[in-house]
Amino acid sequence: MDKLIIRGGNRLSGTIPISGAKNAALTLIPCAILTEEPLTLRNLPRLADIDGFQHLMNQFGITTAVQGTRPEDFGRVMTLEGTRITSSVAPYDLVRKMRASILVLGPMLARMGEATVSMPGGCAIGNRPIDLHLKALEAFGAEIELTQGYVKAMAPDGGLPGGDFDFPVVSVGATENALMAAVLANGTSRLTGAAREPEIVDLCNLLAAMGAEIEGIGSSDLTIHGVKRLNGATYKVMPDRIEAGSYACAAAITGGDVRLEGASAHDMSSTLTAMREIGLEIEEDAKGVRVAANKPLQPTNLTTAPFPGLATDMQAQLMSLLCKAEGTSVLKETIFENRFMHVPELTRMGADIETEGRTAIVKGPVDLTGAEVMATDLRASMSLIIAALASEGETQVRRIYHLDRGYERLEEKLQLVGADIERVGDD
Mean pLDDT over 190-210 rounds to 98
Same domain, 231 and 243: no
Q: How confident is the model at residue 427 (pLDDT cuts 50, 70, 90)?
A: low
**Pairing relationship of beta strands 257-261 and 288-292 according to DSSP bridges:** antiparallel
Do 125 and 232 reside in the same domain of the chain?
yes
Confidence of residue 70 (pLDDT cuts 50, 70, 90): low
Pairing of strands 114-118, 76-81: unpaired
Same-domain pairing of 203 and 334? no
Q: Establish whether 131 is an annotated binding residue.
A: yes
- Residue pair 389/382 in contact by the 8 Å Cβ criterion: no
Residue 270: pLDDT band (50, 70, 90) is very high
Q: What does the pLDDT read at residue 96?
A: 77
Domain identity same for 82 and 167: yes
Phi-psi label, residue 337: left if phi above 0, alpha if psi -120 to 50, beta otherwise: alpha
Determine the pLDDT at residue 378: 85
Q: What is the pLDDT of residue 128?
A: 47
pLDDT at 425: 87
How far apart CA 110 and CA 159 sit, in angstroms, is: 7
Q: What is the mean pLDDT of residues 244-258?
A: 98
pLDDT at site 50: 93
Do 142 and 255 lie in one domain? The reply is no
Please give the average per-residue pLDDT across 210-222, as a whole number: 98
Residue 66 confidence (pLDDT) above 60: yes
Residue 166 annotated as binding site: no
pLDDT at 377: 85
Establish how many alpha carbons lie within 13 A of residue 266's alpha carbon, considering only the half-sphere containing its beta carbon: 10
**Whether residue 8 is found in the same domain as residue 127:** no
Query: Residue 17: is the preceding peptide bond cis (ω within 30°)?
Result: no
105-124: pLDDT as tens digits: 999 999 999 999 988 654 34
Q: Was 7 annotated as part of a binding site?
A: no
* In a shared domain, residues 257 and 205: no
| CA distances from residue 413 to 13, 72, 392, 402, 416 in whole angstroms, order as listed | 12, 12, 21, 17, 5
CA-atom Rg of the chain in angstroms: 21
Residue 71 has pLDDT above 70, yes or no: no
185 closest CA partner among 130, 221, 226, 234:
226
pTM, rounded to two decimals:
0.94
Same domain, 148 and 132: yes
Provide the residue range defining the domain that includes 391: 2-19+239-425
Of 91-95, 123-127, 190-194, 247-251, the range with the lowest mean pLDDT is: 123-127
Let me know if 31 is a catalytic residue: no
User: Final residue of a domain: which of 217, 236, 255?
Assistant: 236
**Residues 85, 220 within the same domain:** yes
Do 370 and 306 sit in the same domain of this protein?
A: yes
pLDDT higher than threshold 60 for residue 126: no
Asked if the model's pLDDT at residue 207 lies above 50, the reply is yes
The answer to whether 49 and 293 have CB atoms below 8 angstroms apart is: no
Q: Which of 31, 123, 204, 249 is catalytic?
A: 123
Question: Among 211, 236, 261, which residue terminates a domain?
Answer: 236
CATH of the domain at 86: 3.65.10.10
Percent of the chain with pLDDT over 70: 96
Distance CA 337, CA 128 (A): 10
Among 198, 217, 236, identify where a domain stops: 236
Length of the chain: 427
Same domain for 179 and 34, yes or no, is: yes
Give the pLDDT of residue 124.
41
Residue 361's pLDDT is 98
For residue 77, pLDDT beyond 70: yes
Check the annotation: does 313 bind a ligand: yes
- Taking CA atoms, 151 is separated from 113, 123, 131, in Å, by 14, 20, 11
Q: Are residues 306 and 197 in contact, defined by beta-carbon separation less than 8 angstroms?
A: yes
Total number of domains constituting the chain:
2
To the question of whether residue 130 is assigned a binding role by annotation, the answer is: yes
Strands 394-398 and 2-7: antiparallel
User: Is 22 flagged in the annotation as binding?
Assistant: yes
Kindly report, residue by residue over 319-373, the tens digit of the pLDDT.
999 999 999 999 999 987 677 989 999 999 999 999 999 999 999 999 999 999 9
271 and 332 together in one domain? yes
pLDDT > 90 fraction of the chain, expressed in percent and rounded: 85
